[in-house]
Each structure stands twice: as structure tokens, then as C-alpha cells.
Amino acid sequence: MKKLVFIIGYGGAAFPLVAKAAGEECKTLGLECVASTDATAPQYRQFIASADAIFIYSHQLPDGV
């Protein structure tokens, strides 16, 4: 199964919309997805490292991501 990651920064204002859309589309397309804010991205470090595609909307990520 392909893995997809969305990391949303800038205060996370767009996060609820992206998380909802990602969840719905990933189910439809048979993808494994994670949507995270830039602040919570470190807890998904392993998933991010193994992802097939990563979409980042942030000016900076925490160390180790």
C-alpha cells in the first residue's frame, strides 16, 4: 500500500480541512495517509521516513523530521 503524508504548518489553520480531505480521499484511493501539523510531525517520524510522497506546507520542520 502506498503511503502519503501531509504536514501542515503556519499555525495549523488549514489542518482540519486537510485532515478531513486526506482521510476521505485516502480511503477512496486505497492509500495509507497521515496528516499532521509541523509541531506533531516528530511522533510520525517512522511513517514519514517510509512514505512514498510527502506534502509540506510549512516554512520549517522540527529537528529529526
Q: What pLDDT is attached to residue 34?
A: 93
DSSP 25-45: HHHHHT-EEEEEETTTGGGGH
Per the structure, the count of domains in the chain is 1
Predicted TM-score of the model (pTM): 0.85
Amino acid present at 11 = G
Using CA atoms, how far residue 38 sits from 1, 24, 30, in Å, is 24, 21, 25
Q: What pLDDT is attached to residue 37?
A: 92
pLDDT tens-digit series, residues 10-65: 887 888 888 888 888 888 899 999 999 999 999 999 999 999 999 999 988 888 88
Would you say residue 65 lies in a domain?
A: no
Rounded to whole angstroms, the Cα distance separating 55 from 7 reads 6
Would you say residue 34 lies in a domain?
A: yes
Backbone angles phi, psi at 34, to 5 degrees: -130, 130
Range of 49's domain?
A: 3-57
Would you say residue 8 lies in a domain?
A: yes
